[in-house]
Amino acid sequence: MTDDKKEASFPYTIRYLTTDDLEQYNALLRYAFQITEQDLMDAGWQDEEIKQSKFPVLKRADILGCYDDDNLISQFAVYPLKMNIYDAVYSIGFITSVSTYPEYSGKGIMSKLMKKSLIKMKEKHQSLALLYPYSIPLYRKRGWEIISNKISYIIKDNQIPSKAKAPGNVKRVEWNNPDFMNLHSQFASQTHGCLYRNYLAWEEYFRWDYDDTFVAIYYNTKGDPLGYMVYLIKKDVMHIKEMIYLNREAQKGLWEYIHAHDSMIDEVRGNTYFSEPIAFDMDDGDIKEVIRPYIMGRIVDFEEFITKYNCDPSEKNVCISFKIEDKFLEWNNKTFNIMFNEGKCYITDKPASYHVSMSIGTLTTLLLGYKTAISLYRKERISGDLKSINKLDDVLLHEMPYISDYI
Whether residue 297 contacts residue 365, with contact meaning beta carbons closer than 8 Å, is answered with yes
- Judge whether residue 4 has pLDDT over 60: no
Question: Is residue 407 situated within a structural domain?
Answer: no
Say whether both 200 and 283 belong to one domain: yes
328 and 272 belong to one structural domain: no
| Residue 157 within any structural domain of the chain | yes
The predicted model scores a pTM of: 0.90
Considering the domain architecture, whether residues 111 and 57 belong to the same structural domain is answered as yes
* One domain, residues 16 and 119: yes
Reported as half-sphere exposure (CB side, CA atoms, 13 A), residue 270 has a value of 26
Task: Among 293, 327, 359, give the residue marking a domain's end.
Answer: 293
Q: Are strands 354-359 and 195-196 parallel, antiparallel or unpaired?
A: unpaired
**Which amino acid is residue 133, in one-letter code?**
P
Alpha helix (H) ranges present in 197-289? 199-205, 248-259
Q: What is the CATH number of the domain that holds 38?
A: 3.40.630.30
Q: What tens digit of pLDDT does each residue of 168-224 get?
A: 999 999 988 999 999 999 999 999 999 999 877 787 766 655 568 899 999 999 999
If one counts the domains in the chain, the total is 3
Residue 267: name the closest of 229, 218, 216, 231 by CA.
Answer: 231
Domain's final residue, options 293, 317, 340: 293
Sequence-ordered list of residues with C-beta below 8 angstroms from that of 247, at least 6 positions apart, any chain: 226, 227
Q: Are residues 83 and 165 in the same domain?
A: no
47 pLDDT above the threshold of 60: no
Of 254, 200, 202, 191, nearest to 228 by C-alpha is 254
| Residue of 23 and 323 predicted with greater confidence | 323
Residues 195 and 327 in one domain: no
